[in-house]
């Protein structure tokens, strides 16, 4: 959940036939749905993880696809894309939220036990 003014934004995965898609909802404080938008409609791609974070005046949407590719896009409070999704090769956290840095950047940690690596992924505003 991410605050959007007096409201709350959430993203989640929903099954659509054989694949999963990303859905965005804008809710009032009492839980009433103000807006619901299907953000991805990709029958051949099965989204695995989705995360949302404040990002300046908008929101940073991040989702991981089944082949391990992560997509990043900025959306507004109505769930409209402000840019084309960018692709990175860093996995999203499976059980943790994204972290908001004091300057407004968003990031997360990626750990690999085989190489004993810990990397910080940081998306700059």
Instruction: For residue range 12-65, list pLDDT tens digits in order.
Output: 998 877 778 899 999 999 999 999 999 988 777 777 899 999 999 999 999 998
What pLDDT score was predicted for residue 103? 95
107 lies in some domain: no
Report the pLDDT averaged over residues 63-71: 85
Residues in the chain: 125
115 lies in some domain: no
Provide the pLDDT confidence category of residue 110 given band limits of 50, 70 and 90: confident
The whole-chain average pLDDT of the chain stands at 91
83 lies in some domain: yes
Domain count, the chain: 1
What pLDDT score was predicted for residue 111? 82
Query: pTM of this prediction?
Result: 0.90
Domain of residue 16 covers 2-92
What pLDDT score was predicted for residue 107? 96
103 lies in some domain: no
Q: What is the largest distance, in Å, between two alpha-carbon atoms of the chain?
A: 47
Provide the pLDDT confidence category of residue 119 given band limits of 50, 70 and 90: confident
DSSP state of 104: S
114 lies in some domain: no
45 lies in some domain: yes
Q: How far is CA 58 from CA 20, 55, 76, in A?
A: 24, 5, 5
61 lies in some domain: yes
The answer to whether 118 and 111 have CB atoms below 8 angstroms apart is yes
CA 57 to chain CA centroid, nearest Å:
16
Q: Which of 25, 29, 30 is nearest to 13 (CA)?
A: 25
Statement: residue 6 has pLDDT above 80: yes
109 lies in some domain: no
Instruction: Render 23-80 in DSSP notation, one character per residue.
Output: EEEEE-TTS-EEEEEE----TT--EEEEEEEEETTEEEEEEEETTS-EEEEEE-TTS-
């Amino acid at each position: 959940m991410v605050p959007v003014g007096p409201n709350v934004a959430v993203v989640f995965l929903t099954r659509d036939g054989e694949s999963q898609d990303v859905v965005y909802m804008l809710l009032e404080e009492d839980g009433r749905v103000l807006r619901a938008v299907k953000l991805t409609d990709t029958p051949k791609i099965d989204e695995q993880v989705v995360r949302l974070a404040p990002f300046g005046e908008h929101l940073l949407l991040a989702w991981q696809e089944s082949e391990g590719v992560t997509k990043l896009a900025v959306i507004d409070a109505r769930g409209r894309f402000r840019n084309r999704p960018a692709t990175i090769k860093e996995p999203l956290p499976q059980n943790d939220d994204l972290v908001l840095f004091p300057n407004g950047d968003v990031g997360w940690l990626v750990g690999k036990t085989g190489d004993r690596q810990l990397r910080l992924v940081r998306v700059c505003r």
